[in-house]
A and B are shown apart, each in its own frame.
Chain A
Amino acid sequence: MKDEPVEKHTIAVLVDNEPGVLARVIGLFSGRGYNIESLTVAEVETGKRLSRITIVTSGTRMIIEQIKAQLNRLVPIHRVSDLTDEGPSVERELALIKVAGRGEPRVESLRIADIFRARVVDSTNESFVFEMTGSTGKLDAFIKLMEPLGLVDVARTGVVAISRGAKGL
């Protein structure tokens, strides 16, 4: 069982937006030793007070199934959906990337930003803040390219994801 391959899964969870619900989810992961690669949460249906949590996690197939079963068992949880398993989905992440420098590196960062379709949302004579949306891999690639050009700071939202097609969660 130990040699089973580790899989990466994106799980969407619809929960009551009530105090402590995020702590329950996080406590479940830490208490049972599961990984969290990223986690995002925000209210999505204000009228019904429902929040959507998107968790990217990894583990063997047995662990992934355990994670879903354990999440489903939490009382304030309405629905757990494994987007990785349940057909194609779209995953996006937003990052704000601050790069400082003058001269050629500064120009170069702007040029690469253009290729990656990152937007400049703040600029001074010696810095830019780029805003970029995309897959995690695309963000990783862009950030890596910024490193030698004066990368100062990165803020990322973590992955949000939704299934493709007409059906909802």
Chain B
Amino acid sequence: MTRNGKSLLFTAALAAMVQFGGLAFAFADTTLLNVSYDPTRELYKEFDAAFAAKWKQDTGETVTIRTSHGGSGAQARSVIDGLPADVVTLALEADIDAIAQKTGKVPVDWRGKLPNNNAPYTSTIVFLVRKGNPKGIKDWGDLVKDGVEVITPNPKTSGGARWNFLAAWAWARNQYGGDDKKAEGFVAQLYKHVPVLDTGARGATTTFAQRGIGDVLLAWENEAFLALDELGAGNFEIVVPSISIKAEPPVALVDGNADARGTRKVAEAYLEYLYSDVGQKIAARHYYRPYKPEAADPADLKRFPDVKLVTIDAFGGWKKAQPAYFGDGGVFDQIYKPGQ
């Protein structure tokens, strides 16, 4: 093949590909992309259908909602790298902050534009253990006993894992009378009991439940309940620790993308619908603690155990906690040394 012929072919092929990529999104006018974190798959499957029906009824327009799921940090990274999300529904504030800081596509004051600090539902961290609780795990202190293997995802990529980390810290801090140095020692000890760090919460659940690795899974409450539902209640038990953390998974409009794609109106309606009675009911059904409990089915609410919850404010809010604990060279980097 001649040099010219070859380069012509390549140019043509490249042009075709660029065309194709353009088309894939040009047709996407009435689609909404919700980039979410791992355990929300089932929740948004039901919610998206409900919202699409409602939108059709109100406006006559058909809207298709596309979803993408993964570890919260990894998902935020994808949005930063150009994944055209109209809305993000992630596991923690810090991930949306990162999008705001790195791209400007989310305003820095995004938090508070929606009720309850942009968290339409909350959750907490519980333990999932094998049937009969063979290692006798009752509370955080039992996790560092000899021979106990703990499954939790990587706090660098998973939002849930960061809540796990802080929940453990909160317990230890309380245990040692507010001594953060000792709390750090406990958390460091805890991560020595972790044989594998998955990138996302769902991966950790399958590692624990399907592959049978570890004695206890630190899980989102909703993820633990779902595992019971999906994998047989007889195989696992939920253990509620004495102290846990109130996790507020926030949602936000990605203004930059929604405006570029002309989807702002429907994207805003989508997020607001999460706060409606229908949205709250669906959240509770999928084991998320609703922001408005009165809207949810009382039978669903009864399933949530009472736990003493500390909030992220005990760690100075995410703006302080994120860099201090999970940033490059932060506490997690200092205490987690694989293979030791």
A binds B: no
List B residues at the A interface (Cβ < 8 Å). Answer: none
